[in-house]
Amino acid sequence: MAIQVGDRIPSVTLKHITESGAQEISTDAVFGGKKVVLFAVPGAFTPTCSARHLPGFVERADEFLAKGYALACTAVNDPFVMKAWAEQGGAAGKITMLPDGNGAFAKALGLDFDASAFHMGTRSQRYALVAEDGVVRQLWVEKPGAFEVSSADAVLAQL
């Protein structure tokens, strides 16, 4: 079953790239004691994700910060790909990238899907959520192939 409003973000340890190299990062540290907008994409460098989803949050990052929200992005990609995508997309320093290389976080949220038909294996659905101290307060999951409810504009309109 997929995560719902009122549920706690599952505790999952991921790896990301820092100046010190590959480091573990827990979802508890990302979400605990903070207000966070998390958006998820099926894959870094894929068309909608790179042309519309990530750029919208990069462009409007200051507006989220002004409202007291940190930003995080997750995708079922390895840490090196997520670091390169953040750098290429201008997200470095604005958005915490959460590489979910094995899809453990997407599965724990119940928001994974089988993209094997596209030779992409298991991926995350496209969604956005608002969490406060690790509890989901708002959640918008896109219909397959859609990009409507999880954009930066759509999320900001709900805050």
d(CA 133, CA 110): 20
User: Which residues lie closer than 8 Å to 81 by C-beta, 6 or more apart?
Assistant: 44, 45, 99
Burial class for 66, CB neighbours closer than 10 Å (0-12, 13-18, 19+): exposed
Q: What is the pLDDT at residue 117?
A: 75
CATH code 3.40.30.10 for 13-158: yes
pTM, whole model, 2 decimals? 0.94
d(CA 157, CA 120): 32
Q: Is 73 a catalytic residue?
A: no
How wide is the angle at C-alpha 92 spanned by C-alphas 91 and 96, nearest 5°?
80
Note the pLDDT tens digit of each residue in 92-134. Answer: 999 999 999 999 999 999 999 787 777 776 889 999 999 999 9
Of 49, 76, 97, 130, which one is the catalytic site residue? 49
Note the pLDDT tens digit of each residue in 8-67. Answer: 999 999 988 888 888 999 999 999 999 999 999 999 998 888 888 999 999 999 999 999
Q: Check residue 3 and report its DSSP letter.
A: -
